Amino acid sequence: MALLEEWQKVAYNEKTEKSQLQRFWQNYFFLEKGIYEKLLTNPDEKVEGSVKELAEKYQISVMEMTGFLDGINDSLIEPNPIETMEEDTHVSLAFDKVKLYKNMVDAKADWLYDLPMWDDIFDAETKKALYLEQKRSGTVHVGKKVGRNDPCPCGSGKKYKHCCGK
């Protein structure tokens, strides 16, 4: 069984008691924050190796590293093969800084996008702009409703009711 499947069975198990699952995620988020602190301290460092080697480097279990790799995958310059990943699969943690920051905002992970290391990567103005851009990207803007006697928005010159409003 691929590591990702094992991770998902544990992390998203609906049969697990709620308090136990809460403790699991609290612990995971604590470990995740520690890894991001190290990664963001030197954001241009090339971090790669097998899943097992990276788990040892960051002093976490292979399962926890699998969860981390699943979470960061959308922010990587080149995504890892997380669906088929095993302990000896070679992976890279080379991330796109802008994507990572926006994905943290999208995940509402304030404990991650508020890390002080971001201050050395982006100035306050850039962080605010990225934050707002990400928040706005999920907002749906509904245009003004076309009335039946209004000119048709297709540009035909006819009233809406005699054109596209039929």
Which of these, 140, 124, 125, 72, lies nearest to 103 by C-alpha position?
72
Give the tokens for residue 98. 């802008």
State residue 1's pLDDT score: 63
Cβ-based neighbours of 65, under 8 Å, separated by 6 or more: 51, 52, 54, 55, 58
Q: Is the pLDDT of residue 36 over 90?
A: yes
Q: pLDDT by residue (tens digit) across 128-141?
A: 999 999 988 877 77
Torsion angles phi and psi, residue 48, rounded to 5: -155, 165
| Three-class SS state of 90 | strand
Whether the predicted pLDDT of 112 surpasses 90: yes
Distance separating alpha carbons of residues 131 and 116, to the nearest angstrom: 15
**Distances in Å between the alpha carbon of 44 and those of 47, 77, 94, 146, 163?**
9, 12, 8, 51, 57
| pLDDT of amino acid 165 | 85
**pLDDT of residue 54 exceeding 90:** yes
**Alpha carbon distance 118, 37 (integer Å):** 9
